[in-house]
Amino acid sequence: MSKIKILSEEDHSMKVLVSNSDRSFVNALRRTMIADVPKFAIDSMRIELGMFKDEESGEYYESNYAISDEQLAHRFAMLPIPTFHSDFYFQEECPSCMDLVEDQRGCPSCQIIYTVSSAGVDGGKIVEASELNVIGDRRLDIPDAFGKIPLTKLYEGQVLHAYFYAVMGRGRDHAKFSPVSGVTFRSRQHGVMNVKSRSKMLFDLDLNITAKDFDKDGKITDIEKVDLLRNDLNHVGPGTDLESEFDGAISLEDVDGEYIFKFQTDGSMSARTCFEQACTQLKDRFESLTVQLADAF
């Protein structure tokens, strides 16, 4: 059975060590995180057209802006919408909406509505993500950390008055529903000192790793130090003047069955939530496959 050890964790990023596993399983976890973890994203918008009166100045503004509707929709669609999996449903699974036709679906349990009402000024005003106002639960406001994301620019006489509708989806249907912005893994490696005399060439460069970092067997097993060693070896590797002379005096060797898995979320959920959801989705998929195979044979 595979084992997971958290090496580092922040709000929107995580680094874990996967042991007793193989490359196919870790890659399945990666693909599941990208394509199957549910996430809210803005899926449609309604822009109010016409002339609007500014209550403060008494002036009238026209509903127009510099970019096309398609560009505006794309920018809003990529915003990190807070996602709470236990509180919401997919529209096709929502108890209140599942029996309705698609264009009539949408209730507080399966849809989030945002509104923007912003007017331009002389010289231009940047409309930022923080200007989206959620209709309902304030937990669903765009996180403060992403409030400065620019969406469009309005000039004097222009106004954007619109409603945006977010629904739950999966990354396999559209990239806007993918909760991660980067998912990578590599085999865990150990640093091995093959030729002590030539290894001194690296140590003399006074970078990160010294001879004292190697144990009595001439190895470095600490994950963080191996990362530093990997960077240091770039100074004596291919494309450097020292490559031929250094000649692999120190090398990196893969550890069988162990992988370093790293990822970042887009801010719609915490890294821990994303990882737990990916594990749950992968588990359910394997269980479903097991049942199907049992029925087939």
How do residues 133-151 score in pLDDT, each as one tens digit? 999 889 999 999 999 999 9
Tokens of 181: 């912005």
Q: What is the CATH topology of the domain spanning 3-36+181-264?
A: Gyrase A; domain 2 (3.30.1360)
SS3 122: coil
Residue stretches of the chain with pLDDT short of 70: 50, 52-62, 65-66
Predicted local distance difference test score (pLDDT) of residue 121:
83
Question: Helical H runs in the chain?
Answer: 23-35, 69-77, 196-203, 223-232, 243-246, 271-296
Amino acid at 163: Y
Predicted local distance difference test score (pLDDT) of residue 122:
85
- What is the 8-class DSSP label of residue 142? P
Return d(Cα 6, Cα 155) in angstroms, integer: 49
pLDDT digit string (tens) for 12-43? 999 999 999 999 999 999 999 999 999 999 99
Q: In sequence order, what E strands does 3-129 have?
A: 3-10, 13-19, 39-47, 51-53, 60-62, 112-119, 125-128
* Contact yes or no for 266/146 (Cβ under 8 A): no
Domain ranges of the chain: 3-36+181-264, 39-175
CATH architecture assignment, domain 39-175: Beta Complex (2.170)
Return d(Cα 270, Cα 286) in angstroms, integer: 25
